[in-house]
């Protein structure tokens, strides 16, 4: 199976390396020092589940050099989805799937509008990692990838991906209702990322501070109300399950939103908390928690400004 990783960051790099180790023909599309390091030394992954070193690794900064592939793993940030989808069009054959690895619920629609609905495959990645130096991905925790065709069918392209992923050590699941899985991740992500970014403390401190922890359940209730209005079957039980999952998360965890905020990078805020606020307005649902997060962090949405103190 030929797979291209479009945006070889921590997420795409980790998944791509696991698939390459399982025997897939993987091309890593990257740029700058990261690309140079991969071309020179291969792509290295350090992981508590076992290290992987793909060397030599096929890598380029030009999708047109690759040609059509079976699947594309789209690993860019939400604000780069449109530009990246346009750039990857040379990778598409008639049956090529583009698996969105982004947070939120809007990436598959953005991909479908540019590349065509037949190519858009929603994905839900629960993987924590970071690039610790060019050419090196450090996998920290969680190992889950859920994929599904928008119409719920078990397609050959995704069945082959599931088999490869499991062979490579990934916990890959094929879902008949991927839209529900996207919203379940939003239920986890937007409240906890909001609390993390506003407080800038690790997970242990969030859980141990009653005034802060009491915000989690109402914030999740806002997501459930919006999802239900959108026709998605989230329920009260999903809140209980998500709170239980958060109780088991690593005490040192911080959201990627917090990491980007502290590093002065652009934020995915408008596609996360902003989406909940917009859909809340659409359906007449109050979303006070997400409005506070949006209002608090929007001054930082475009990253650090030259000359800021």
Quick: pLDDT tens for 33-80. 999 999 999 999 999 999 999 999 999 999 999 999 999 999 999 999
User: What pLDDT does 173 receive?
Assistant: 97
Q: Where are the domains of the chain?
A: 2-175, 180-300
Give the residue-averaged pLDDT of 93-114.
97
Tell which residue, 218, 214, 224, 201, has the closest CA to residue 280. 224
User: What pLDDT does 305 receive?
Assistant: 56
Tell which residue, 277, 242, 253, 147, has the closest CA to residue 201. 253
Q: What is the mean pLDDT of the chain?
A: 96
pLDDT confidence band for 128 (50 / 70 / 90): confident
The third-level CATH classification (topology) of the domain covering 180-300 is 1.10.1040
User: What pLDDT does 307 receive?
Assistant: 44
Instruction: Specify the residue for token string 């449109």.
Output: 82
User: What pLDDT does 218 receive?
Assistant: 98
**3-state class percentages of the chain: helix first, strand second, coil last, to nearest 5:** 50, 20, 30
> How far, in Å, CA of 294 to CA of 288, rounded?
10
Q: Tell me the H-state helices in 105-215.
A: 107-115, 156-167, 178-199, 203-208, 210-213
pLDDT at 295 over 50: yes
pLDDT confidence band for 306 (50 / 70 / 90): very low
User: What pLDDT does 309 receive?
Assistant: 45
Quick: pLDDT tens for 62-74. 999 999 999 999 9
Quick: pLDDT tens for 141-181. 889 999 999 999 999 999 999 999 999 999 999 999 999 99
Give the residue-averaged pLDDT of 119-124.
98
Domain 2-175 carries which CATH code? 3.40.50.720
């Amino acid at each position: 199976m030929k797979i291209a990783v479009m945006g070889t960051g921590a997420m795409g790099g980790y998944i791509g390396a696991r698939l390459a180790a399982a025997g897939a023909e993987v091309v890593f599309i990257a740029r700058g020092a990261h690309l140079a390091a991969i071309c020179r030394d291969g792509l290295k992954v350090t992981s508590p589940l076992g290290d992987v070193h793909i060397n030599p690794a096929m890598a380029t900064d030009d999708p047109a050099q690759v040609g059509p592939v079976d699947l594309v793993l789209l690993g860019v940030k939400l604000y780069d989805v449109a530009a990246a989808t346009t750039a990857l069009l040379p990778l598409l054959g008639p049956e090529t799937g583009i698996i969105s690895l982004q947070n939120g619920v809007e990436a598959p629609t953005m991909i479908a509008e540019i590349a065509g609905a037949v190519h858009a495959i929603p994905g839900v990645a629960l993987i924590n990692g970071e690039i610790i130096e060019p050419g090196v991905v450090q996998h920290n925790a969680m190992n889950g990838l859920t994929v599904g065709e928008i119409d719920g069918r078990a397609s050959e392209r995704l069945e082959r991906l599931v088999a490869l992923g499991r062979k490579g050590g990934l916990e890959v699941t094929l879902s008949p209702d991927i839209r529900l899985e996207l919203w379940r991740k939003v239920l986890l992500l937007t409240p906890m990322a909001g609390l993390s970014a506003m407080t800038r403390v690790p997970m242990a401190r969030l859980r141990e501070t009653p005034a802060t922890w009491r915000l989690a359940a109402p914030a999740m209730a806002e997501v459930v109300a919006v999802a239900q209005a959108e026709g998605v079957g989230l329920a009260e039980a999903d809140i209980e399950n998500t709170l239980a999952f958060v109780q088991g998360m690593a005490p040192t965890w911080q959201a990627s939103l917090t990491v980007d905020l502290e590093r002065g990078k652009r934020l995915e805020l408008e596609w996360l908390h902003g989406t909940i606020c917009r859909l809340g307005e659409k359906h007449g649902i109050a979303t006070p928690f997400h409005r506070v997060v949006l209002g608090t962090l929007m001054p930082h949405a475009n990253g650090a400004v030259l000359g800021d103190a």
